[in-house]
Amino acid sequence: MKYDNSRRNFLRSAANTAVAISSAGALSAVAQNYTAVGKSEGIKLGLASFTFREFSRTQLIAYMKQLNLKALNVKDVKDHLPVDPTQEQAALNEYAAAGIQLHAAGAIYFAKDENDDIRGKFDYCKRAGIRVIIAGDPTRDTLPRIQRFVREYDIRFAIHNDGPEDKIWHSPLDVLKAVHDTDPRMGCCIDVGHTMRAGVDPVKAIRAAGPRLFNVHMKDLAAATAKDSQVAVGEGLMPVRGIFEALVATNYEGFVDMEYEIHADDPMPGASTSIAYMRGTLAGMSDQSRAGIEAAR
């Protein structure tokens, strides 16, 4: 009997242990999922100032307050960030007073393979404390010279893909081929709309870019190949959640900047809808992962 009792205790203990291990494994798997998806709370949303290209800097700041955004991908359009150093400083003072962070600038165009022209653009960003240049149209032949300035200024250089119409940078995959063996601060800004129009899955492009991804321009399309079909984010075909999940999976540390290019005379309704949808998607990702952990317990 002692033997049988010991044996029953042993089997009971083993069964309990197996259940515990199974439960712990399930909980661990969910916890790992939460750790990954939970980082969605850390994805940083910003605004591309081109959205408000028909409005002054003062109006732009007011709109950002309404959108509850503090991060700006600024462009030299209207008076958003003038190239002239004195005027630039005045703009920087106004942004600082409003608590707005300038994290990127662009698109900036690099049509000339000349030191003075390139240095002027790097100086422009350095004065503003900007860490990422969004580059519009550098040629492949210009990249070795630009790389020298990237190293000197320690500023990331993100080439922006512009879709099928772009003669060089149709999709992020073209950018990645060009910067593959360059300084790690040479990379891409993925415009998800132009990427989709080029026939490339934005989610796969993000995963392919990995640490070479320095900025994301978020928009949405009602028709995958039609540039003029842009709609507010969440109203089209863009896999927004999949994009966020890919950013989490690749440990992306940059900003996702909403760029609403239509209705330039009245972009606020679409911009507001877009930001609300992006925030809702991120909140849903976090809530779902927390619920999974509680269910596993």
CATH of the domain at 42: 3.20.20.150
pLDDT of residue 114: 96
Asked whether residue 209 is domain-assigned, the answer is: yes
Span 169-191, average pLDDT: 97
Asked whether residue 6 is domain-assigned, the answer is: no
Asked whether residue 143 is domain-assigned, the answer is: yes
Asked whether residue 3 is domain-assigned, the answer is: no
Asked whether residue 260 is domain-assigned, the answer is: yes
Domain residue limits at 152: 33-295
How many CB atoms are located within 10 Å of the residue 41 CB? 12
Full-model pTM: 0.84
Query: Residues of the chain with pLDDT > 90: what percent?
Result: 80
Asked whether residue 266 is domain-assigned, the answer is: yes
Q: How many domains does the chain have?
A: 1
How would DSSP label each residue in 184-201?
TTEEEEEEHHHHHHTT--
Query: Residues of the chain with pLDDT > 70: what percent?
Result: 83
30 or 139, greater pLDDT: 139
Q: Are 67 and 271 in contact (CB under 8 A)?
A: yes
Interval 13-63: pLDDT, tens:
433 433 333 333 433 333 333 333 345 567 999 999 999 999 999 999 999
Asked whether residue 13 is domain-assigned, the answer is: no
For residue 91, pLDDT beyond 60: yes
pLDDT of residue 80: 98
Interval 244-288: pLDDT, tens:
999 999 999 999 999 999 999 999 999 999 999 999 999 999 876
For residue 79, pLDDT beyond 90: yes
Asked whether residue 67 is domain-assigned, the answer is: yes
pLDDT of residue 287: 74
Between 202-209 and 240-249, two packed helices, what is the crossing angle to 10 degrees?
10
Sign, CA torsion 245/251/253/254 = negative
